[in-house]
Amino acid sequence: MYDFLTGPMLWLSLAVFFGGLAARVVWYVKGLRWNLDRVPYGHLTSTGWLWALKSVIFWLIPFGSRSWRTKPGFAALFFLLHFGLVLVPLFYTGHTMFLKQWLGVSWPAMPAGLADALTILAICAGVLMLLRRYALPEIRIITGPQDLAVMALSLAPLVTGYVAAHQPENYAFWINAHILTGEILLLAAPFTKLAHVALFFCSRMQLGLDYGTKRGGRKGRGLAW
């Protein structure tokens, strides 16, 4: 089972993940209309792309944008969840060792204690974000089964990975469950809201271009959106 999950299944998952997200990005750009969405205009190209970059950077920094600062509690949960989902898979010791054996590439690993802390915080943040969806009427009304499924898919690799690292007597079962849930997450990403892992950059760049060229952003200071 382990050999299959770390062999053909892993290659398939990565192919679907990267290929599917690339297709989503192409569809996003092709879906923009020249007369409404595709900005900046010719004479503001350099300025527009600068605003696109600023929009992405400020939204990637905790409390970097005004929208993050107006909802500090949600922003904290959002970044705690995403730190766990991004940093732990990239820098956990077991993952870096596997990548070195599998691809021959390596980079520094984070301490095990830090990985555990980020994992626990990410799981708690994900649960609280889900509860928030059902607690606030304005969010509950737009919440559907897919939102619950997406959060479950996101948290499953963290939960199974944490258990695998701390339950050596059942390690074989939990490590297979960890790998399988991670690969299901990769397979689902292009077809669900998880596609925001790539589409976030598209939408933020589009908004940055739009506000920086058509909506007076060049006349102000900082980011007003």
pLDDT at residue 17, rounded to an integer: 96
Q: Is residue 82 part of a domain?
A: yes
Q: Which pLDDT does position 95 carry in this prediction?
A: 87
Q: Is the pLDDT of residue 165 over 50?
A: yes
According to the model, what pLDDT value does residue 4 have?
A: 87
Whole-number Å distance between alpha carbons of 148 and 29: 28
Tell me: pLDDT of 221 over 60: no
CA dihedral for 144, 148, 153, 155, sign (positive or negative): positive
Q: What is the pLDDT confidence band of residue 223, given thresholds at 50, 70 and 90?
A: very low
- Is the pLDDT at 126 greater than 80, yes or no? yes
- Is residue 106, in this structure, part of any structural domain at all? yes
pLDDT beyond 70 at 163? yes
Four-residue CA torsion sign, 158, 120, 199, 110: negative
Tell me, what CATH number does 99's domain have?
1.20.950
Measured CA distances, 84 to 37, 114, 162, 194 (Å):
34, 10, 12, 15
In a domain, 51, yes or no: yes
Distances from the Cα of 129 to the Cαs of 73, 122, 143, 181, in angstroms?
10, 10, 12, 20
- Structural domain includes residue 225: no
What tens digit of pLDDT does each residue of 28-64 get?
Answer: 988 877 666 555 555 556 677 788 888 899 999 898 8
Lowest mean pLDDT among 20-24, 125-129, 206-210: 206-210
Query: What is the rounded end-to-end Cα distance, in angstroms, of the chain?
Result: 49
pLDDT band, very low/low/confident/very high, at 220 (cuts 50, 70, 90): low
Average pLDDT, the chain: 86
Tell me whether residue 147 is in a domain.
yes
Q: How confident is the model at residue 159 (pLDDT cuts 50, 70, 90)?
A: very high
Give the mean pLDDT of 131-155.
Answer: 91
- Quick check: bond before 168 cis, omega within 30? no
What would the pLDDT profile of 52-98 be if each residue is shown by its tens digit? 888 899 999 898 888 889 999 999 999 999 999 999 999 998 888 88
Structural domain includes residue 224: no
Tokens of 177: 């469950």
Region label for 104, one of left (φ > 0), alpha (ψ between -120 and 50) or beta (otherwise): left
Question: Of 186, 185, 206, 219, whose CA–CA distance to 59 is shortest?
Answer: 206
The pLDDT score that the predictor gives to residue 98 is 83
Give residue 174's domain range.
2-219
How many domains, the chain? 1
* CA–CA separation, 27 and 30 (whole Å): 5
